[in-house]
Structure 1
Amino acid sequence: MGSGPDTTAVRTALWRALHVLVDDAPPVLDDTIGLQIAAVDDDWRARPDMDPERTRTNRASIVARARAAEDIVVESTAAQYVVLGAGLDTFAQRQAGAVRVFEVDAPETGAWKHARLATLGLDAPERLCLVPVDFEAGQSWLHEVVAAGLDPEVPTVVSMLGVTMYLTREAIAATLSAAASLAPGSAVVFSYSRPIEMAPPEIQSILRVAAEGARASGHPWLSLLTPDEAAGLARAAGFDDVEVVTSTDLHERYFADRTDGLSPIGGEDLVVARAGSAGVRDAISQDDHGV
C-alpha cells in the first residue's frame, strides 16, 4: 500500500480547487487548501480528469455534498464532527469555532497528511485529531475515535462522503449502526450514487467510464443505491428521522442563482439521518424532501 492519499482523495481535492479557479464567483465551497496539501505538480490542470467542461457535474457534486455536510455541522449544536474517509478534507483549517474534528482514514493516509499539515503550518491539534483506522483489518471506527478523545455522550455529526459506492451494503449498515449509537442530538450525513440507469441520459456514458476506471484501479463500485434503499439503510440502523436530499435539492439550494449553469443534478444524493435533535434539524432547509 502506498504512503500517501489514494488517487480518489487527490482528485476530490483538486476538483474543489478547480471550482474556485474556473467557475463563476461566489464559489459554493471556497477550498484551495486541499490543493496545497495534495502537493501535485504545477501542471495539474492539464490532467485529463481536470478538464473544466467534462468534469462540471462531478465538480459541482463534490462541492455540493461537502457544503451541505458542513452547513449541518456549523448550524447545529453538535460539538464534535467525525469525517469518515476524510482524505484531504480541510474543514478544520477553514472553519473557526469550537467544534472538534476527528478525521478517520487509513493509517498510511493519516500519517502522510499529518506530515503535510505540519510542513504547511496547517496542523490544528487543539481542534483536529487524525484517527488511523485499518478497515481491512476489521477495526471499529467508533472504538478508535472514542479512544482518540471523542465523547459518545455529546452530540456529534458524522459524515461519509464519496464512500458508500466502494462499500458493501453490510459495511454501510455497520457504519450507520455505529453512528446511531451516539448521543441523542447526533446526526449522520452520507452521500450515495444511484444506479447508472437512473442518471440523466447525457451523463450515463460518463458514469460508465468512471465505473470502469474505478474497477480497473482496484476500487470497484460495490453499492449503487436508490433513494428508498439508501434511506432504508439509515432507518434499519436505528435512526428515526431520515431525509433524502437529492441532487436536484442541492441544485435548488446552492446553484439556482448561478450565472455559469454549473449544477450537481445527476450527481450524488445525500441522506441525513438524525437522532432527535432540533438543533441538527434546523440545519436542513424546510424545502428538502423527506421519504
Structure 2
Amino acid sequence: MSGEPDSTAVRTALWRALHTLVDDAPHVLEDRIGLEIAGVDQGWQTRPDMDPMRTRPNRASIVARARAVEDTLIASGACQYVVLGAGLDTFPQRHKGPVRVFEVDEPATQAWKRDRLVQLGLLDPERLHLVPVDFEAGESWLAKAVEAGLDTAEPAVVSMLGVTMYLTQEAISTSLRQAASLAAGSIMVFSYSRPIEMAPPEVRPILEGAAKGAAASGHPWLSLLTPDQATNMARDTGFTGVDVITSTDLHERYFAERHDGLSPVGGEDLVIATVGRHRVGSG
C-alpha cells in the first residue's frame, strides 16, 4: 500500500467514531466510515488516547467543528467543497448529492487514503478528488485544486479544521489569501485554538498534555490565536464578512439539550469568512 496515514488524522477519525459508540444519542455527527478507512485493529478503544472520559472534550470539539462546517456548506448551496488537511474526512461518503469535494493533504496521506477507498469500494471519482500537495515544497493548494477540476468562477466552501495550530501565522495567511481569491460568495471556515491560559481552568491540563504530545510526535503547535488575531488574519487576507463562532457558541448550538455533560467549551473556535464582490489576488 502506498504511503501511510498521519497519526493525528487517524486519531481524529477514531474520536469521531468513538462519539457514536460511547456518547448518548442524539449524536452531533454520525461517522463510523473513518474508522473503517483507518483499518485499525479491534482493540483500538483500549488505546490511552481513546479513554472515554479523559477524551470527552477532545471528541466533543472534533464533532462540533465538523458538524458546523458541514451545516455551513449545506446552507450555502455551493456545489464545490475544498477540505484542507482532509485526513480521513468522509463527507462525500456520508452525503450524497451534487457537491464535488476536493480533499487536500500531503502526498503520503493521500496515496494511502486512495488505496484504502479503492479497497473498500468507497471512491467515487466523479465527486471526490484527492489532491496531494507538498506544502513543505511551497506548492499552492489552490493551483493543485484547480488542476484537479476546481472551478474558480463558481463559489466554493473551503474548510481548514484542526490545522492552524501546526502552521506558522505566515503559512495560515497564505492559505487564507488563496481562499479569498475565489469567486464572490465563497466561504472559508477555519478552526483555531486559543492560548492555553485563555481556556477554562478544568480544560487547561488537557490542552497542556495535548501540546506536549504534539511536540513529542513531531507536530508541535506553532500558532495559538486569540479571537482578535484570527479575525484580523481573515480580514487582512481579503475576506469581507468575518464571524467568530466560539466553543461556547458551538455548545449552545449542538450540546445545550444534552444531559451527559459532553461539551466542546474550551476547545477550538471557528472563523467563518465570506468572499465579497471584489476578489483579491491569490498571492
Q: TM-score, normalised by structure 2?
A: 0.96
Contact 1:107/1:133 (<8 A) preserved: yes
| CA RMSD, Structure 1 to Structure 2 (Å) | 0.9
Q: Give the Cα–Cα distance (whole angstroms) in 1 for the partners of residues 112 and 169 of structure 2.
A: 29
Q: Which residue of 2 aligns with 1:284?
A: none
Structure 1 position 276, deviation (Å): 3.6
Could you say what secondary structure the match of 1:103 adopts?
strand
For residues 213-228 of structure 1, the aligned pairs below 5 Å read 213-228=213-228
For 1:185, the equivalent position in structure 2 comes to 185
CA deviation after TM superposition for structure 1 residue 77, in Å: 2.0
For 2:43, the equivalent position in structure 1 comes to 43
Maintained 8 Å contact 1:77/1:155: no
| 2:238 is the counterpart of 1:238 | yes
Q: Percent identity between the aligned chains? A: 71
Paired letter, 2:98: A
Name 1:286's counterpart in structure 2.
none
Deviation (angstroms), 1:259: 2.2
Q: What is the CA-CA distance between 1:4 and the residue it aligns to? A: 1.1
Runs of 4+ deviating beyond 6 Å: none
Aligned counterparts of 2:192 and 2:170: Cα–Cα separation in 1: 15
CA shift at 1:205, angstroms? 1.1
Show CA shifts across 1:235-283 (max 9, x none): 0000010000000000000000112111000000000000149xxxxxx
Give the corresponding residue for 1:11: 11
Distance 2:228 2:178 in 1: 21
Partner of 1:272: 272
Matched positions, count = 276
User: How far apart are 1:75 and its partner, in Å?
Assistant: 1.2
Residue 86, structure 1, aligned to residue 83, structure 2: no
What stretches of structure 1 of length at least 5 have no aligned partner?
278-291
Cα deviations by residue, 1:188-238 (Å, 9 ceiling, x for unpaired): 000000000000101111111111111111110000000000000000000
Tell me how far apart the structure 2 counterparts of residues 107 and 6 of structure 1 sit (CA, whole Å). Answer: 11
In 1, distance between residues paired with 2:161 and 2:229? Answer: 17
Task: Report which stretch shifted further, 70-79 or 157-166.
Answer: 70-79
Q: 1:176 and 2:212 equivalent?
A: no
Name structure 2 gaps, 5 residues minimum: 278-283
Shift of 1:147: 0.6
SS in 2 for 1:24: coil
